[in-house]
Amino acid sequence: MAGLARALAHAPRNRTVARLARSRAAAWLVNPHADVTAAELRAAVAGKTVLVTGASYGLGAATARRLGAAGATVVLLARTEHALEETARAVREAGGFAHPYPVDLSDPAAVEPVAADIIDRHGPVDVLVNNAGKSIRRSIADSTGRFGDFERTIGVNYLGPVRLMLALLPAMRERGSGHLVNISTIGVRIPPGPRWAAYQASKSAFDVFFRSTAAEAAADGVTASSVYMALIRTRMSAPTAIFDNLPGLSADEAAGIVCRAIVSRPAKISPWWADAAEVVFSAARHPWERIVAGMYRDSHGATTTQDTREIRP
Ligand SMILES: NC(=O)c1ccc[n+]([C@@H]2O[C@H](COP(=O)([O-])OP(=O)(O)OC[C@H]3O[C@@H](n4cnc5c(N)ncnc54)[C@H](OP(=O)(O)O)[C@@H]3O)[C@@H](O)[C@H]2O)c1
């Protein structure tokens, strides 16, 4: 009797634990895995210069901390100075070296001087992790008069990283070595959904730029990995209620996947189901688009917005 009473008293907590366990299991099933040991990461990055954009929060900060613990010199780029300093402190405490550069990647005048300063002080970077990003979820109906949404996403997700690569790549190619990592999204590999026009168009643009550039840079010994991430629980995904019940990785788990890209240098890391999904969606494009349009019509266009500036603490 007492056991039953105890079980009933703990039922809500047990339900929460069970839900979390289901969510963890689902995330494990649908995402790529890290599969990299601390020793392998150390062998790949100790004493090397690794530049991580968007290193103030989320995936970038978690990646920088792992690289620091493996003995890398981590160059950290983002806008928020105090958060960059926080990541730098964590990198140093973990045994690495950290150099924060507060910069707005979408500012056309800011990127080239920073890149020149980085090359002056550290030489050609060994690994560039293009991670900084901005997501906006808003219907086109709600976007009239909001052209800035498109300028901001294209600025951070496309033009900024293009400028950075144009500035850093020549020194890497001249030296004949280096590795480029692009943190892309699974959204560029499946059909574009309603409300994601600004974000998915900007991420798709850089995905194409990156892969085309990779084909050229390979001839000079510079390798490249595109990492197609599914849901990661960071401040980027936090405001979007539709993600609440989907399986997501923690920033640290996703950082493990970025480390795998740095160690193994594959052309692509993607969830196992994405290749099949691409084939199915392209064969069934017309019916799929009709289903999605019907679902959008029935949802009455309810919009939530993700803007990392607006939700900044
Ligand atoms: N979260 C997901 O579910 C998910 C899924 C697929 C792909 N991704 C991709 O993963 C990457 C990391 O996102 P996250 O989830 O870690 O998001 P996050 O926590 O919001 O971090 C985004 C990072 O980008 C930086 N950033 C934004 N605008 C910038 C600008 N104008 N100049 C310089 N840095 C800027 C932010 O720093 P400041 O604000 O300090 O500048 C922050 O460090 C992004 O490329 C995103 O597209 C995320």
CA of 135 relative to ligand 1 center, distance in Å:
8
26 & 36 share domain: no
123 & 133 share domain: yes
Total number of domains in the chain: 2
pLDDT in tens, 262-283: 999 999 999 999 999 999 999 9
Tell me if 305 is assigned to some domain. no
Give the pLDDT of residue 307: 41
Atom number, ligand 1, closest to the C-alpha of residue 248: 3
Give the pLDDT of residue 31: 92
Mean pLDDT across the chain: 91
Tell me if 87 is assigned to some domain. yes
Give the pLDDT of residue 6: 56
247 & 220 share domain: yes
Tell me if 309 is assigned to some domain. no
How buried is residue 206: exposed, middle or buried, by Cβ count under 10 Å (0-12/13-18/19+)?
buried
2 & 45 share domain: no
57 is catalytic: no
54 & 152 share domain: yes
CA of 130 relative to ligand 1 center, distance in Å:
10
Best residue among 63, 79, 80 to mutate for probing ligand 1, ranked by most atoms within 8 Å of CB? 79
Give the pLDDT of residue 309: 37
**Among protein residues, the one whose CA lies closest to atom 11 of ligand 1:** 131
Tell me if 70 is assigned to some domain. yes
The CATH number given to whatever domain includes residue 126 is: 3.40.50.720
**Among protein residues, the one whose CA lies closest to atom 20 of ligand 1:** 236
Give the pLDDT of residue 254: 97
Give the pLDDT of residue 12: 61
How far are the Cα atoms of 206, 208, 216, 282 from residue 211, in angstroms, in the given order?
Answer: 8, 5, 9, 20
Best residue among 53, 196, 234 to mutate for probing ligand 1, ranked by most atoms within 8 Å of CB? 234
289 & 211 share domain: yes
Catalytic residue among 57, 101, 199, 228: 199
Best residue among 53, 59, 154 to mutate for probing ligand 1, ranked by most atoms within 8 Å of CB? 59
What is the DSSP secondary-structure string of 49-61? EEEEES-SSHHHH
Tell me if 261 is assigned to some domain. yes
Contact criterion met (CB below 8 Å) for 258 and 227: yes
pLDDT in tens, 158-203: 999 999 999 999 999 999 999 999 999 999 999 888 999 999 999 9
Give the pLDDT of residue 232: 95
Tell me if 303 is assigned to some domain. no
Instruction: State both tokens at 10.
Output: 């703990």
Alpha-carbon gap, residue 51 to 99, rounded angstroms: 9
231 & 111 share domain: yes
79 & 37 share domain: yes
CA of 10 relative to ligand 1 center, distance in Å:
38
96 & 42 share domain: yes
Tell me if 277 is assigned to some domain. yes
Q: Which range marks the domain in which residue 17 is found?
A: 1-30
Tell me if 307 is assigned to some domain. no
Alpha-carbon gap, residue 74 to 96, rounded angstroms: 7
- 132 CB near ligand 1 (under 6 Å): yes
66 & 125 share domain: yes
24 & 36 share domain: no
12 & 39 share domain: no
CA of 136 relative to ligand 1 center, distance in Å:
11
Q: Can you name the residues that pair with 128 across neighbouring β-strands?
A: 51, 180
Contact criterion met (CB below 8 Å) for 62 and 251: yes
Residue ranges in the chain whose pLDDT is less than 50? 4, 7, 305-313
